[in-house]
Amino acid sequence: MIELLLMNGYGLFVWSAFAFTLINFFTLYIIINRQLVKENKKFELKFNHLEKIKYKEAYKQRTNQVLVSSNAAQKI
């Protein structure tokens, strides 16, 4: 176990390179996911506050249908 950590004296370099990579992955994923949730909420709020005629018109669009259904699924 200690051998794995020390890696013949190169442990600090190897582990820091891998840690930097994984931290960047995690950070990027969190940032993008937060943006996605925020934009989803914005869309949902606007969509649910549309007048009945406009709501029907907007619901005809396929992408809107998918977005509404996926948001509903996320609530569950």
Partner 1 sequence: MLNKIFEILKIISLSKLTRIIIFSLFVIFLTLGLFESLLLSPEDYIQSDAVRIMYVHVPAAWISLGIFSFIAFLSLGIFIFKNKNFVIIAKSFAPSGLVFNLIALVTGSIWGKPTWGTWWAWDPRITSMLVLFLFYILYIASWRLFENDKAAKISSLVAITGFVNVPIIKFSVDWWASLHQPSSVKILSETTIHSSMLTPLLLMTAAFALFSVLIFLMKYNIELIKIKTKGLDRL
Here the tokens at position 32 are: 């993008």
To partner 1, the closest distance from the beta carbon of 59 in angstroms equals: 11
CB contact at 8 A, 23 and 15: no
The only residue of 32, 52, 72, 76 in contact with partner 1, by rule CB under 8 A: 32
φ, ψ of residue 10 in degrees (nearest 5): -105, 5
CB contact at 8 A, 42 and 67: no
Please give the C-alpha separations between residue 5 and each of 8, 12, 16, 22, in angstroms, as whole numbers. 9, 8, 11, 17
To partner 1, the closest distance from the beta carbon of 28 in angstroms equals: 5
Asked if residue 28 binds partner 1 (CB under 8 A), the reply is yes
Give the residues lining the site for partner 1 (CB under 8 A): 4, 7-11, 13-14, 16-18, 20-21, 24-25, 28-29, 32-33, 35-36, 39-40, 42-43, 46-47, 50, 54, 57-58, 61, 63-64, 66-67, 70, 73-74
